[in-house]
Amino acid sequence: MSDFFSMYGQMLIRSILIHLKYVLISVSAGFALGLGLGILLSRLPPKFSAVILPILSIFQTVPGIVFIGLLFLWIGMIPATAIIALSVYAMFPVLKNTYTGIEQVPAGYCEAAVGCGMTSMQVLVRVELPLAMPTIIGGLRMSTVYTISWAVLSSMIGLGGLGDFIYQGVSSNNNTLIIAGAIPAAVMAVLAGALIDRVQKKVVPRGLRKEAIR
Amino acid sequence: MIQFEHVVKRYGKNTILHDLNFTIPDGQFVVLIGPSGCGKTTSLKMINRLIEPDEGRILIDGEDYAGKNPVNLRRHIGYVIQQIGLFPNMTVAQNISVVPRLLGQDKAACDKKVHELLEMVDLPYEQYAHKYPNELSGGQQQRIGVLRALAASPPIVLMDEPFGALDPMTREVLQDEVKRLQRKLHKTIVFVTHDMGEALKMADIIIFMNGGQIEQMAPPEKMLEAPASDLVRSFLGKHQLSDSNPLYVEDFMRTNPYTVDFHRGVLECAEKMARSGVDTLLVTDDDDHYLGTVSIRDIKLKGREAGSIEPLISTEVRTVCLGDDAQESVNYLLTSGESYVVVLRPDQTVAGIITKNSMAKVVANTLWGDDK
């Protein structure tokens, strides 16, 4: 065990940091993009979303490995390749949840808001987004957990991360290496999930929580 | 003042409103009522321009807001909707301050307003201001909904079936509260309902709509007196005056009064009065013919030595016959201070008595229907 750490310790820490960096950057970018596009989509007439959402779903089913490979051929072996690919994938759950979250806001609330004299921007910021927030954060959680596992793929094109251990382990038939890559990734996913649950509690007002005391 | 001038609204080929014309003066409580689909809610929402007319004009204080940004208009018209009006992500205080905040009032001013309004409906600020809507009862929520509409002191408040989802008791209380607030604050309120009882109770003017047109526009009193059509009449239903107005003494009388045979003893009479909770009994002979009355006062004054009640019988109480006009007896009771009139059948037996109580009951039944 101590052998392993003296040999791989530094590499492991570096890989975790790189992995984290990919995840943080692409989830942030994906969240911003997904939120923006989701809001935009909810402003358009329903016939647009009826076309756009299925197309996005199909796109989402393209295996990450294929997309990363294509980007690699096009952009090359720079970190941006991994970040772009991961951001796009991180965007999907957020976009979808933002859109459905806003759509699910009961029409009565929006009518009350408009009737009070809110502009459409004020309705969005003060009523629709807060009410959609639990769903949106749910999307963020999903995209963060996914991105942590997808980021393993970036080592496939030589960009490092915890995937290095897994690929090396697989190719050299070394289970210790596989586990050394898998466990930190799994722990990272669990921690990130827990962290987002905490955030969820903070940003969702008491009035929207199901367990609110009457 | 709100004026509708030749307002027409169509959805596709369906014309919802046909050439609607009416004027709502300031400070009036106006209720829009009618069968579903009659256009009452559509008309209401046209006032704050949630719905735009296809033809015609809607003037508010003489100004036509068509083509102008409706946001500012809406901030000066209160709006209460059924059930889910409150924003669940905001506290009571935040909900009430929504419109003042939109108008740019600072936090201190909003807070003051919240204090003031909560006080007006007896919800203590400390206890309620920081609760969320899902922590309140339905009645409390709708109370806050009304307060939110009043928060920016708009001269006009629109209410779209605000109490439809509440239980009858709570509805009753809120109706009284809104009516009280309206009188106190001199608001113009336009109120949509399908409950005629609510309309009659709240309205200064009822606008009865049907098929996108006004069937009748009148104060409740006038509508009850002269419904314009069978539809209005059927809506008035039990609230309507009955066709057979009470005219005769039998309409006002209470049957089965307490009687006593003239052979009975004084003590027995006194005991019967005490048991029945009355101070006089009607005295009859062996054939049930009416002889007069005996009162506890007379028994007390000179009863003991009499033994029988026969010498105590008084014939001073006024008697009338079945079929007599009631007006005279009613007037007599109201002016003389006597407590009852005895009603006799043609054969001089007792049919009943008219008291102030029995009169009041009949009048109440006539006005509001027999709800028993």
Residues B313 and B172 in one domain: no
**The domain spanning residue A88 has which CATH number?**
1.10.3720.10
For residues B176 and B291, membership in a common domain is answered with no
- Our CA-based measurement puts residue B19 at a distance from the nearest CA of chain A, in whole angstroms, of 25
Task: Sheet with B319-321: list strands edge to edge.
Answer: B319-321, B340-344, B350-355
At residue A211, the pLDDT reads 45
As a whole number of angstroms, the distance between CA A40 and CA B168 comes to: 44
Residues 6+ apart with CB under 8 A from B245: B366
SS3 state of residue B279: coil
CA of A126 to nearest chain B CA: how many angstroms apart? 9
What pLDDT shows up at residue B131?
92
Neighbours of A132 (CB within 10 A): 25
What residue type is B86 in one-letter code? L
Residue in chain A closest to B73 (alpha carbons) equals: A117
Which residue does chain A place closest to B80, by CA atoms? A112
Q: Please indicate, yes or no, whether residues B226 and B130 belong to a single structural domain of this protein.
A: yes
> Which are the contacts of B6, defined by CB distance < 8 A and separation ≥ 6?
B19, B20, B21, B55, B56, B57
Indicate which CATH number applies to the domain containing B291.
Answer: 3.10.580.10
Amino acid at position B48, single letter: N
The angle at the Cα of B12, spanning B10 to B16, to the nearest 5 degrees, equals 30
Provide the domain limits for residue A21: 2-204
Which residues in chain A are contacts of B133 at CB distance < 8 A?
Answer: 207
Task: Tell me which of B1-15, B98-112, B250-264 is least confident.
Answer: B250-264
- Asked if B60 and B203 sit in the same domain, the reply is yes
Chain B contact present for A44, CB below 8 A = no
Distance from CA of A116 to the nearest CA of B (A): 6
Contact A172, A92 (CB under 8 A): no
> Could you tell me if B200 and B331 lie in one domain?
no
Least confident of A199-213, B34-48, B125-139: A199-213
- Taking only the tens place, the pLDDT of each residue in B131-185 is 999 899 888 998 899 999 999 989 999 999 998 888 888 888 889 989 988 988 8
The answer to the question of residue B10 being in a domain is yes
Asked if pLDDT for residue B259 goes beyond 50, the answer is yes
What's residue A4's pLDDT? Answer: 74
**Does residue B244 lie in a domain region?**
no
Residue A97 predicted with pLDDT over 90: yes
Q: Is the pLDDT of residue B240 over 70?
A: no
Write out chain B residues lying below 8 Å of A125, CB-based.
Answer: none
Q: Which residues pair with B341 in a beta bridge?
A: B354
The nearest alpha carbon in chain A to B90 belongs to: A207
Average pLDDT value over all residues in chain B: 87
- Res A111 pLDDT > 70: yes
Residues B335 and B223 in one domain: no
User: A117 and chain B: CB distance < 8 Å anywhere?
Assistant: yes
Going by pLDDT thresholds of 50, 70 and 90, the confidence category of residue A36 is: very high
**Residue A212 placed within a domain:** no
From chain A, the residues in CB contact with B139 under 8 A are none
Residue A114 has pLDDT above 60, yes or no: yes
Q: How many domains does chain B have?
A: 2
Strand order in the sheet with B2-11: B14-24, B2-11, B55-60, B63-64
Of B59 and B165, the one with more pLDDT? B59
User: Of the residues B205, B239, B273, which one is the last residue of a structural domain?
Assistant: B239
A-B interface: how many C-beta pairs under 8 angstroms? 77
pLDDT of residue A212 exceeding 80 = no
User: Is A45 a domain residue?
Assistant: yes
Tell me the pLDDT band of B8, cut-offs 50, 70 and 90: very high
State the pLDDT at residue B303: 66
Amino acid (one-letter) located at B8: V
If you write DSSP's letter for every residue of A158-198 in order, what string do you get? T--STHHHHHHHHHTT-HHHHHHHHHHHHHHHHHHHHHHHH
Same domain for B266 and B117: no
Q: Above pLDDT 90, what percent of chain A? A: 41
Chosen domain end from B184, B217, B239? B239
Mean local confidence (pLDDT), B121-130: 91
pLDDT value of residue A50: 87
- Read off φ and ψ for residue B242, nearest 5 degrees: -75, 155
Q: In this complex, which of B48, B84, B102 lies closest to A108 when CB atoms are compared?
A: B84
pLDDT at B241: 60
Q: Which residue of B has its CA nearest to A206?
A: B132
pLDDT tens digits, residue range A155-171? 877 777 888 888 888 88
How many structural domains is chain A composed of?
1
The CATH number assigned to the domain holding B124 equals 3.40.50.300
A210 in any annotated domain: no
**What is residue B236's predicted lDDT score, i.e. its pLDDT?**
85
Q: What is the pLDDT of residues B188-212, one digit of tens each?
A: 999 999 889 899 999 999 999 998 9
Q: Does A4 touch chain B (CB under 8 A)?
A: no
Domain ranges, residue B109: 2-239
pLDDT (0 to 100) of residue B208: 94
Determine which of B134, B137, B142, B150 to mutate to test the interface with A (most A C-beta atoms within 10 Å).
Answer: B134
Residue A152 reports pLDDT greater than 60: yes
Whether B55 is in a domain gets the answer: yes
CA-wise closest residue to B151 among B184, B180, B122, B117: B117
Phi, psi of B123 (to 5 degrees): -110, 110
Report the distance separating Cα A174 and Cα A192, nearest Å: 28
Considering the domain architecture, whether residues B230 and B279 belong to the same structural domain is answered as no
Question: In DSSP terms, which residues pair with B314 in a beta bridge?
Answer: B293
Whether residue B243 is predicted with pLDDT greater than 60 in this model: the reply is: no
Q: From the list B71, B73, B132, which residue is nearest A206 (CB)?
A: B132
- Using the predicted structure, report yes or no on whether residue A214 has a pLDDT greater than 70: no
Choose the final residue of a domain: B239, B257, B273. Answer: B239
Q: Which residues of B touch A119 (CB under 8 A)?
A: 71
Gap between the Cα atoms of B306 and B267, Å rounded: 10
Report yes or no on A164 lying in a domain. yes
Residues B134 and B191 placed together within one structural domain of the fold: yes
Q: Which residue of B has its CA nearest to A214?
A: B135
Taking contacts as CB-CB distances below 8 angstroms, the residues of chain A near B82 are: 108
Do B119 and B190 fall within a single domain?
yes
- Does B211 share its domain with B263? no
Distance CA(B356)–CA(B86), nearest Å, equals: 49
Q: Is A131 in the B-facing interface, judged by CB distances under 8 Å?
A: yes
Cβ atoms of residues B363 and B354 within 8 Å: no
Buried b (16+ CB within 10 A) or exposed e, B333-370: beeeeeebbbbbeeeeebbbbbbeebbeebeeeeeeee
Asked whether the beta carbons of residue B83 and residue A114 sit closer than 8 angstroms, the reply is: no
Interface test with A, best of B98, B140, B148 (most A CBs within 10 A): B98
